[in-house]
Chains A and B, each alone.
Chain A
Amino acid sequence: MNSEERLIYMANQIATNLATDAAPVAAVADHIQTFWDPRMKRMIFAHGTDGLSPVAAAAIRLLADAQNGG
């Protein structure tokens, strides 16, 4: 796995484990915001949602929008 593949893997793994949360998308977004360093976040935003599960993809979109929208 290279770094980008690993980030995709991690995001999906987080999404799978938080799938039973009451609000999974927000929970995944919050987890990534809390624990990932800025470069990891930038890398996955740049990568887009390819290969991400629906929940992970929605969470990344949410975070990226928050980042851009301010």
Chain B
Amino acid sequence: MTYQPQKDFGTPESRSDEAVSLTIDGREVTVPAGTSVMRAAAEQGTSIPKLCATDSVKSYGSCRLCLVEIDGRRGTPASCTTPVEPGMVVRTQTPQLAKLRKGVMELYISDHPLDCLTCAANGDCELQDQAGAVGLRDVRYDVQATHLGQEKDHSNPYFDFDPSKCIACSRCIRACDEVQGTLALTMEGRGWDSKISAGFASDNFMGSECVSCGACVQACPTATLVEKKVVEVGTPERSVVTTCAYCGVGCTFRAEMRGEQLVRMVPYKDGKANRGHSCVKGRFAWGYAQHQERILKPMIRKSISDPWREVEWDEAFAYTASELKRISAKYGRNALGGITSSRCTNEETFLVQKLVRAGFGNNNVDTCARVCHSPTGYGLKTTFGTSAGTQDFDSVEDSDVILIIGANPTDGHPVFASRMKRRLRGQDGRPGAKLIVIDPRRTDIVRSPHIEAQHHLPLRPGTNVAVLTAMAHVIVTEGLADEAFIRERCDWDEYSHWAEFVSQARNSPENLQPVTLVDAEELRAAARLYATGGNGAIYYGLGVTEHSQGSSTVMAIANLAMATGNIGRSGVGVNPLRGQNNVQGACDMGSFPHELAGYRHISDKGARALFEKDWGVTLDPEPGLRIPNMLDAAVDGVFKALYCQGEDILQSDPNTAHVSAGLAAMECVIVHDLFLNETANYAHIFLPGSTFLEKNGTFTNAERRIQPVRKVMTPMNGLEDWEVTQRLAQAMGLNWNYSHPSEIMDEIARLTPTFAGVSFARLDEMGSLQWPVTADAPDGSPIMHIDGFVRGKGKFVVTDYVPTDEKTGPRFPLLLTTGRILSQYNVGAQTRRTENVAWHPEDLLEIHPVDAEDRGVKSGDWVKLASRAGETTLRANVTDRVAPGVVYTTFHHAVTQANVVTTDYSDWATNCPEYKVTAVQISASNGPTEWQEEYEALSARARRVETGIAAE
């Protein structure tokens, strides 16, 4: 396949149902009403010359290159701004048009450097293409001096800005406004003097509001905005469509390659999750894939105090299998377990849990989803019958009221946030959706360009259930519940029981205000808006799940949606925003100790029989250990071996001291990862992993969308991750013979009713599929529970507010809550190894000015953050984004080890850790704590490789 950019239709697609027929250059074409003449021409294969139009943004009509002649109209209208009309007769090529276009091009070229041969965009420049298309051969004007020779802006680590090459088409500005929604760019001056700038003329890109999403770079028709990588290696020569491995939005990209070298990632316009957009991580932050710290050879050691010894794969597998067998013989089969990763593919995850269940002979398998979205699984399964969100992302376009609770989409799910913001701003005369934000912190979306939340409820961390119950109180007692929907779709007795509970005076907003700190009137107004404002959609994130009442909060959300009839159509629903790319998939694939793939309980005889027959083994009918239980059992001396794929539990799990004690008590810790992560400090065997660029498989995003991941380069470590698991299983005597991940997917489909219609061939054909994919829904299910709930009747569950046991007191008077930021990803193992560190070199502690003043802390000061579990140091950022009494930090950097201070309190139903509430004290400090120093020393010791050179 040779390189072809994705086709540009010039203007966005029209969503009208009405069809219009017209004639262009003698050929008839039928398109939806509202389509531009330019797009209609492009759809029939006629490309009209253009510069200022591109199909990601609305047309602007400034370049005058796309002129056409239309019968019965005077002059030569611009085809990008002229909508089609029935019976129109259009001509795109006439001598007069050719002359006009040449004149326009001549003007542009006279103000453009003529260094095409050495320009980075040579061969990939629309100005160059159009000059060719209009047949420009010479330029009659003198080269203008106004515009050339301006200074380049190299400040962004991923792209350059060379204003001398700018043709002032404003595509970048429109992309930033319409696609990204950051509104970072402006045009100054007029005509030949006009100049694009990021923020004020004095700002460079790094100093501006720019979040480096790259939409402007993609929109730019010239080399004015160009990827540094293209400047460095040249333009691509082929492309492969694949899926981002960072977050649960699941953007699809064209990986544009030059040989085996990745030149750039360009968001794929046909990607149904992202519709041609991306964020800084997916587009730019893939440098970690070739980072020098990647471990490429297996390593083993007898004890964690020994240095690592590099070995060949054969030896690594033989040794690992012998260790696992030895431990199983000595301590019993229940001493073994495994952890699957939400970063790996569905196929890889499925194999790890299969290895545990069929090979280790127990159900001790868990996943890092435990620490983020396990309450979603529990809560939505209980209330609706399916452990997944109810909508596709497109649904947001039909929402009238958007309620965001415990999520920070602009940082955590940036591309979906851009789509949400577009809906909030309103478009083409349609007013924007209303916004309610429930979050202790004033997140960016509360107030951003052209968006202002109607209600921000800054609750006390840990009181989600109380706030939602108070909202339910308002809805029920003010008669705003949708009783017709409830009678038809839900169990009426359960509803009545719930309605009676929430109506109690003790659950009124006024009564709960002292607990939640949310103004009762504001809460009432928010509840009324959600119940009566039209289509109401709830989006939530880890600020909901990572609490001692995480599962209750999810059920309280489901209750609200059912009570107001906001389920079962586009624009409504309950939508968990998943953290990692494949959290949904990891849960679907049977990664939980009590569930087989497709959420069937291990005690379910029928389901078990299906797997037993297919795998030729007997399965243990009792649930296995969850991650925290594994660590407890390890400390008790009965859990001895752990296979941990693509997961850094030491950094990501709460109460680091407890995790390290558990790991230290094991005899065989196997880490399968790209880097020597923190967990690897306690590992005896290291199996090098492969990146998403080096393997085939599928990821499932937050909208249940199964999307292909395609191999674009050979694994540097020699094996794809599924091959590593298979070779290990073979070494343990299992008869596995998969030759391609598609065969693993076939097995999943055969054993999992909701995946029955999924195969790689179907995915190639459709691009992606949203499960359930069944005989009834062969093309998948964008929206769930349309005619009835999966479980039959929707179940209202009474969720009583139970305060967390993590309480503030005189020694620990502040509440710490944690979160993430845009440019870094989770524990940061990947993003810390890219240029993204330019935006987030360290974790900072946000503290309110009043609390800061009480403690004599200023922005930039080192402070000690202490809880009942431990202490760490980091630098302070004094801001009123957080309320008095609340402090906030991220956990992207290992040296901060924010989890040293988090406790091991957890969700009552799933043991999902309570990351979002820890009682802490802050005091001035002058450097790292003893713990941090000891840990650094341990890390350095634990990372020695036998050559004598530390690997990191």
Contact = CB atoms under 8 A, between A and B. Distances in A.
A31 B636 contact: no
B836 interface: no
Contacts of B622: 37-38
A37 B334 CA distance: 10
Nearest to A43: B636
For the residues of A in contact with B, the DSSP-based class is helix
Contacts of B363: 37
A68 interface: no
A53 interface: no
B548 interface: yes
B646 to A, nearest CB: 24
Interface stretch (B120-128, B190-198, B274-282, B625-633): B625-633
A19 B623 contact: no
A22 B551 CA distance: 18
Interface residues of A, number: 21
- The size bracket of the interface on B is 20 to 34
B632 A16 contact: no
Interface in A8-58: 10, 13-14, 16-17, 19-22, 31, 34-40
Contacts of B571: none
Contacts of B629: 37, 40
B549 A17 contact: yes
Given A14-B909, A20-B501, A35 B594 contact: yes
A66 interface: no
A37 B624 contact: yes
B334 A39 contact: yes
B206 interface: no
Interface string B798-814: 11101000000000000
A56 B735 CA distance: 45
Contacts of B908: 10, 13-14, 16-17
Contacts of B68: none
Given A1-B904, A39-B334, A34 B601 contact: yes
B802 A17 contact: yes
Contacts of B636: 3
A34 B624 CA distance: 10
A2 B798 CA distance: 32
B593 interface: yes
B644 to A, nearest CB: 18
A22 B799 CA distance: 12
A31 B909 contact: yes
Nearest to A14: B908
A40 B363 CA distance: 14
Given A34-B594, A35-B623, A37-B625, A17 B633 contact: no
B465 to A, nearest CB: 10
Contact of B632 (A6, A14, A20, A22): A6
A10 B601 CA distance: 21
A66 B354 CA distance: 30
B781 interface: no
Given A39-B334, A40-B629, A19 B800 contact: yes
Contact of B638 (A10, A16, A22, A39): A39
Interface string B123-164: 000000000000000000000000000000000000000000
B664 interface: no
A3 B633 contact: yes
Contacts of A21: 798
Contacts of A16: 802, 908
Interface string B607-630: 000000000000000111110010
Interface in B532-558: 548-549, 551-552
Contacts of A3: 632-633, 635-636
B623 A34 contact: yes
Contacts of B623: 34-37
B497 interface: yes
B357 to A, nearest CB: 13
Interface in B629-687: 629, 632-633, 635-636, 638
Contacts of B909: 14, 17, 31, 35
A17 B798 CA distance: 9
Contacts of A34: 594, 601, 603, 623
A11 to B, nearest CB: 10
B549 to A, nearest CB: 7
Given A1-B904, A3-B632, A37 B593 contact: yes
A51 B802 CA distance: 19
Given A1-B904, A16-B908, A22 B497 contact: yes
B803 to A, nearest CB: 10
Contacts of B911: 10
Contacts of A40: 625, 629
A30 B909 CA distance: 12
B632 to A, nearest CB: 4
B548, B622, B636, B908: residue with the most chain A Cβ atoms closer than 10 Å? B908
Contacts of B552: 17
Interface string B580-607: 0000000000000110000001010000
Contacts of A36: 623
B800 A17 contact: yes
Given A35-B623, A37-B593, 15 more contacts: A3-B633, A3-B635, A10-B908, A13-B548, A13-B908, A14-B908, A14-B909, A16-B802, A16-B908, A17-B802, A20-B501, A20-B800, A37-B364, A37-B625, A39-B334
13 contacts: A3-B632, A13-B908, A17-B552, A17-B908, A19-B800, A20-B798, A20-B800, A31-B909, A34-B601, A36-B623, A38-B622, A39-B633, A40-B629
Listed from nearest, the 10 A-B pairs whose CB atoms lie closest are A20-B798, A3-B632, A13-B908, A17-B908, A38-B622, A20-B800, A37-B625, A3-B636, A16-B802, A37-B624
